[in-house]
Structure 1
């Protein structure tokens, strides 16, 4: 039997990668404190599991009553009493038989014990861990647990947690099991940290792109389309069109050639590329076109554009003088995301990627990737994206889980040389970066650009991949200077991600208040009375002729209501027109922020609007 110190040290290995160990321990410990309080309040409750999660923890209970707000307040107060008791977290090793006696009245703990002895983790998945069973006890509560925990409940801040809600959850996530009560809580090292987190939650709710998408008439999700297929409304479509023009202009100036390729192809194409073997779980099922004749084939909606762009490269013979070849497309792709994770614009099943593939000689790889990084930085600067960092995403050949280890193509020499290529480019470009195992594409490593949302969570927005695998799969060649065939390196890159994900990110970044050049409506014209309508309409027509986006409010609403509507729609400029303005051929300019710029001659305002639009400034007054 291991000593208590050894058992506690062994528990440290269960802290997930990239999770702060101190936060993990205190959240895990608070989960046990909550379980004690819940069982004291509801003696019939049967605890199941209670792990730390991103911003706190949850604990599931078999409980046949619905806790009230008063119950949750009682549980929170009781947790604070337990914390102040400074009870030590004691651990000891037990045998399976001892555990079955200890938890004889809890079928969920018995299920866990049976699974652990068969080499499964607490979720019923295969595990390589040895089946060592341990229990932790604080005060009067004992739980089957592998740890780790803080030393005593006194190490927890009684003001550092908040029970947020109770929801339903099936045991082990299977709908044929019993529905449990899941207690959700957020937990932090101090009360001040908790307050800061709650403020971030409030800000995140204010910026939520799904909420703003409804309020600003940008997009809608219709049940009849199915999950993951959002519909862009006119204003959302306008933003997307501007983004597409924005990035294609940058690409054209950087020497990219734009193409259109089919959204669908024979399954054979994806078997050659390897997507069918490595990615088919994320693809829609093939369409069987019938038996016999020319229709005897299976067609697939594409999950990626790379096999299609390879066909563009193969459409003619290539010389070393032709390279680099930069092929770009706003490509539609289809991925079978699980219904539980799709939502809004950030996770969808049909998407349009700002995609490109560069076919280069080995001696061109570094310069071309450095060029992509420069292009990405310029695009980010125009969009106002400033908080991001670079990640070198590698494969994971040493992962003990064979599923995670074997999902990558088996070519150690290729992986080593491709990783070194990207590492050299990042180093020579002078950009700070970090490395991460298990984040690569199945065919090669990549540079991922990680951006933060308001909650501080990171997501990949842009990616650059070095690929020596697909050129080999498709036997790509070019004739070198000595007339011998050589194989190009393929660089996959997406500068501004998919149109859907970029829109969702920008909606939250700007909190719906888009900069002038990207705003779906740039100018709202508000005539005070009916006699000002004609002037307002002529001004709107003149601005439309200059390709500005204008909305003249000729409704019967009062002036203040029209101004308020324009501010709620976050329109950058609001032009009020009355008798004085008509006489002087001027407009009273207000900003959506409420600032009043006063009366300006129409030509002066047009010049201001042109400058703001042309410069892509993030300011309303350049």
Structure 2
């Protein structure tokens, strides 16, 4: 039964990620590079925090991070099958009379790294993780902020496993995906997508791969739907559709089992009997693409990021220039501990400064006047709660450390 979850577009303007991206100075779309977003300083903070969280989780899960070239020779894409199955979505270049393609996917690069040295069965599973920049040609009419772009970063992982490791590795992947989505407050739905009309490899291998994926889903007691014929051309997949605060569904994560690419690239490892064997490849993403996940997250929280993600975590609002020295002293101490704090040093009324902090959706504001300077305290305002009283810098640091948490 084919059942695509619909991506709803009806929402209040206030939650639209393009409007919020402009209001919060996160990213910009420019005519000079259609579909290729420009990330502003605030957006880079958000992006870097998402990447740091991702890297830490993968390090703890036993992945090795790699980086592969964004442009490789045409023959590679012919060998992988992308030339035949994805040619119309790719960009090309010619260098030294040699045809190159800008990568639309990261998997061939990971395969080349796996094949770069002799492998033993004792090394497997090999888990590579890559935040890889890819380019795909999308029609200009379909471009939409960060949701539909031509240049984006996939949070890919490619695992090379023995046949007896397939189910245990997929089981671990599903646990990792659940942990990441829970961190951001997303629930999700699951689809198992099977062999499409156009595919490579034998039907027997496809059936084996589909049964392996279904077995893990059943053992973990997942409630899933079968999406007939919507697998990748090289293998079946499990797709994750996250549900946001408005009840909309977005396809993000995917787990794909691939018997075909290792065959095409003659991937090998030496078995216990000293004979060459073929690994199985697992393709996997959690965010899906960093840009799209950011768009979904911006709308999910309506731009009100938790403290650990907020580009500006606190603004210090001195009432007059006489309070600037104390404001900068507080800023310096908080920045030394890794907190993102700004001082609003403009000659403006304090009411205006407070309203602008609210519009910028900054989690905290610290008002500094004569009384605060004299007592060595800060008048603390919290997003949506307003004034929550006076606190010492030590109290604020303890509060921030607890609220920021850890990965």
TM-score tier (shorter): over 0.9
Aligned counterpart for 2:94 among listed residues 275, 282, 288: 288
Aligned residues: 407
In structure 2, C-alpha distance between the alignment counterparts of 1:410 and 1:376, rounded to whole Å: 28
* In the alignment, structure 1 residue 243 sits paired with structure 2 residue 42: no
Q: What displacement does 1:430 show?
A: 2.0
Runs of 4+ in 1 over 2 A off after TM superposition: 16-20, 203-206, 452-459
1:28 corresponding residue in structure 2: none
Aligned counterpart for 1:342 among listed residues 136, 143, 162: 143
Q: CA RMSD in A?
A: 1.9
Q: What displacement does 1:410 show?
A: 4.9
* In the alignment, structure 1 residue 392 sits paired with structure 2 residue 199: no
2:25 corresponding residue in structure 1: 217
In structure 2, C-alpha distance between the alignment counterparts of 1:361 and 1:338, rounded to whole Å: 40
Q: 1:18 to 1:319 in 2, by over 3 A?
A: closer
Query: SS of the counterpart of 2:286?
Result: strand
Deviations 1:450-470 (A, max 9, x none): 123566443211111100010
* In the alignment, structure 1 residue 368 sits paired with structure 2 residue 173: no
Does the Cα contact within 8 Å between 2:186 and 2:243 map onto a contact in 1? no
TM-score of the superposed pair, with normalisation by structure 1:
0.64
Does the Cα contact within 8 Å between 2:310 and 2:363 map onto a contact in 1? yes
Deviations 1:406-427 (A, max 9, x none): x222521111111111000111
* In the alignment, structure 1 residue 489 sits paired with structure 2 residue 296: no
- Structure 1: which 5+ residue stretches go unaligned? 1-15, 21-53, 56-196, 290-294, 397-404, 617-622
Q: What displacement does 1:562 show?
A: 0.5
2:179 corresponding residue in structure 1: 378
In structure 2, C-alpha distance between the alignment counterparts of 1:19 and 1:431, rounded to whole Å: 18
Q: What displacement does 1:233 show?
A: 0.5
Does the Cα contact within 8 Å between 2:2 and 2:228 map onto a contact in 1? no
In structure 2, C-alpha distance between the alignment counterparts of 1:466 and 1:560, rounded to whole Å: 57
In structure 2, C-alpha distance between the alignment counterparts of 1:251 and 1:341, rounded to whole Å: 33
Q: What displacement does 1:19 show?
A: 9.0
2:362 corresponding residue in structure 1: 571
1:259 corresponding residue in structure 2: 66
In structure 2, C-alpha distance between the alignment counterparts of 1:559 and 1:376, rounded to whole Å: 44
In structure 1, C-alpha distance between the alignment counterparts of 2:212 and 2:406, rounded to whole Å: 36
Query: SS of the counterpart of 1:299?
Result: strand
* In the alignment, structure 1 residue 561 sits paired with structure 2 residue 368: no
Query: SS of the counterpart of 1:430?
Result: coil
Deviations 1:207-242 (A, max 9, x none): 1101111111111111112x2011010000110011
Deviations 1:334-356 (A, max 9, x none): 10111111120011111111111
Does the Cα contact within 8 Å between 1:204 and 1:455 map onto a contact in 2? no
In structure 2, C-alpha distance between the alignment counterparts of 1:300 and 1:549, rounded to whole Å: 40
In structure 1, C-alpha distance between the alignment counterparts of 2:346 and 2:124, rounded to whole Å: 59
Query: SS of the counterpart of 2:127?
Result: strand
Aligned counterpart for 1:549 among listed residues 318, 326, 340: 340
In structure 2, C-alpha distance between the alignment counterparts of 1:280 and 1:310, rounded to whole Å: 20
Worse overlay, 445-454 or 268-277 = 445-454
- Structure 2: which 5+ residue stretches go unaligned? none
TM-score of the superposed pair, with normalisation by structure 2:
0.96
Deviations 1:220-278 (A, max 9, x none): 111112x2011010000110011111100110111111111100100100111101101
Determine which structure has greater relative contact order: mean sequence separation of CA pairs < 8 Å that are 6+ residues apart, divided by chain length. 2
Does the Cα contact within 8 Å between 2:186 and 2:244 map onto a contact in 1? no
1:604 corresponding residue in structure 2: 395
TM alignment of 1:51-66, pairs within 5 A: none
Q: 1:531 to 1:283 in 2, by over 3 A?
A: same
Does the Cα contact within 8 Å between 1:283 and 1:336 map onto a contact in 2? yes
Deviations 1:308-332 (A, max 9, x none): 0001100100010000000111111
Q: What displacement does 1:594 show?
A: 3.6
Does the Cα contact within 8 Å between 1:204 and 1:454 map onto a contact in 2? no
